[in-house]
Amino acid sequence: MSKEAFIEAINKSYSTSLPTIYLGAGVYQGEIVADAKVNLPLRMMNRHGLVTGATGSGKTRTLQLMAEQLSAAGVSVFMPDMKGDLSGMAKQGTANDKINERAVALGISFRPAAFPVELYSLSGKVGAQMRATVTEFGPVLLGKILELNDTQTGVLNILFKYADDKKLPVVDFNDLKKLLNYLTEGPGAAEIKGDYGKISPATSSTILRKIVSLEQQGVDRIFGEPSFDIEDLFQKVDGQGVISILNVSDVQNQPAIFSTFMLSLLAEIYQTMPEAGDLDKPKLVFFIDEAHLLFNDAPKAFMDQIEQVIRLIRSKGVGVFFCTQITQDVSPAILAQLGNRVQHVIRAFTPNDVKALKETVKTFPRSEFYDMEQQFTQLGTGQAFITVLNEKGIPTATVVTHLSPPCSLMGPLPEGEYQQQLNASDAYRKYKDSEDPQSAFEILTERMKNDAARAEDQKEVKRTTKGKQEKSTFEEVINSPVAKQMGRELVRGVFGVLFGTGRRRKGLF
């Protein structure tokens, strides 16, 4: 097929009158064809997507490119920063030979630009502190990060149900531990037996040990008040969407924690945001990097919650893009809902790699322009196979795309500028200091104290009543005629012996 036919086919598939983001230009027989423009309609970005590829293939820069253009279009973005090198989006990029070469090949001008960025952190050390209350996290997500089995997660469900029914705010781990103790070995154990079920001390001890283990790792910092207000993710500055970056470089050794925390944010957005229907552009696009961490050893209840959120959150005007190394990292039920695909190079060094390659090829529309199985392993850095949904929701032709370079700094902000960014941040000041409101710990402690005081009062009443009853009985006995006669005989007998007033037996003296 001719180059002209290739251009015509790509433009027919990717051209639209609706607002788009520009991803790059098609590649045909090794040539970058600037006229074959690859665009992604903003309207379709709440149909979710997937960005995959081997380490070093350019996935992070693809996310940066998409986030920049979304921001410029007035769409807010949330994204994790795995290595701490996305903060540079707050600063203009600098042209160099590689960037200029890429821009010339694409037939575009490189225009350095900075974007409104808000920096967040789970530790509070490298960004505004992101927190959630234990109640907001919920038993399913909490069970995931505690690595609980189904039985143990069932106990968490009891704790949360009891707390909801009794209006007990469970804000942090202290609240959770107090509630667990109260309902296992405390006064609440008998109370819940009929309506909620008995909690085994062995199961309770296991859960407690896992909570303590997370506390020792410092994970308890993410639970508390003030909890993060999801409205902060939808901010705009001068018409541009704010790019909220969660810097997780300081908690990389706890990947399940930050991946699950991101899902908790999604779940809260789904639960609290109003229905929006089909919009011309999404309100928010949510990137989840290292997505395989969500699905590794995930229990069914957890998977059900993910699938429900991903399936329904698009009606809230929110798009979700997963980022991971291979397509197989994502569960089939989730994969079926991801209409936009960006696949960077696949390394096929082992039999398992070859198998994964063949399975990945099957998830893309067939192409008359490429030997796809061969081409997947020959993509250069900054190139990717792409297929997206057009404005009618139909998958576009699969095309090898030479991606456009980001306009902002491709790397972290210099240390001094990073701190300046934090110091100027309203969110950093808003979430910096933790609060300790009255919650389940204080309420249950006071309740147990009052219960103990009442129990002691009841014991005292019983002791006093018993003493009065004994005294009353003794007086009745003592004052009776028989008692008085016995008393007189006793006194006579005793004093008669002591003082010799009784009769003496003959011959004794």
Helices 150-165 and 201-216, axial angle in degrees (round to 10): 90
DSSP designation for 254 = -
Residue with tokens 């050390």: 125
Are 369 and 6 in contact by the 8 Å Cβ rule? The answer is yes
Strands 20-28 and 236-237, bridge-based pairing: unpaired
Q: 376 with 407: CB under 8 angstroms? A: no
Q: Choose among 422, 417, 415, 411: nearest CA to 94.
A: 411
Do residues 246 and 78 touch, judged by C-beta distance below 8 A? yes
pLDDT < 50 stretches in the chain: 473-474, 477-478, 482-509
Q: Does domain 3-131+232-431 have CATH number 3.40.1260.10?
A: no
Give the Cβ contact number of residue 78 at 10 Å: 27
Degrees to nearest 5, angle at CA 131 with 216 and 207: 40
Q: If residue 469 lies in a helix (H) or strand (E), which one and from where to where?
A: helix 440-479
Average pLDDT, the chain: 88
Tokens of 282: 């999404």
DSSP, res 72? H
Task: Please check whether residue 130 is in contact with residue 120, taking contact to mean a CB–CB distance below 8 angstroms.
Answer: yes
Where is 31: in which H helix or E strand? strand 31-41
Fill in the DSSP letter of residue 324. E
Could you tell me the end-to-end alpha-carbon distance of the chain, in angstroms, rounded to an integer?
A: 151
Sequential DSSP letters for 180-245: HHHHHTSTHHHHHTTTT-PPPHHHHHHHHHHHHHHHHTTGGGGBSBSPP-GGGGG-EETTEEPEEE
Cα dist from 296 to 31, 207, 255, 398, whole Å = 40, 21, 11, 29
Distance CA 49, CA 320 (A): 6
**DSSP code, position 185:** T
Burial of 269 (0-12, 13-18, 19+ CB in 10 A): buried
* Sequence-separated (6 or more) residues with CB below 8 Å from residue 336: none
Helices 134-145 and 173-184, axial angle in degrees (round to 10): 80
Instruction: Give the C-alpha distances (Å, rounded to integers) separating 28 from 6, 98, 122, 365.
Output: 7, 21, 45, 17
- Tokens representing residue 183 in the block: 């309902």
Query: Which pair of tokens denotes residue 105?
Result: 């090949």
Q: How far apart are CA 399 and CA 385, in angstroms?
A: 5
Overall residue count recorded for the chain in this entry: 509
Q: What is the pTM of this model?
A: 0.85
Give the Cα separation of 154 and 175 in Å (integer). Answer: 18
Residues ≥6 apart with Cβ < 8 Å to 338: 47, 48, 49, 50, 322, 330
Pairing relation of β-strands 399-403 and 383-387? antiparallel
**DSSP code string of 282-301:** -SEEEEESSTHHHHTT--HH
Q: Kindly state the greatest CA–CA separation across the chain.
A: 154
For 329, residues 6+ apart whose C-beta sits below 8 A from its C-beta are 52, 291, 292, 295
Domain borders along the chain are 3-131+232-431, 133-224+438-481
What integer pLDDT is reported at residue 118 of this predicted model?
97
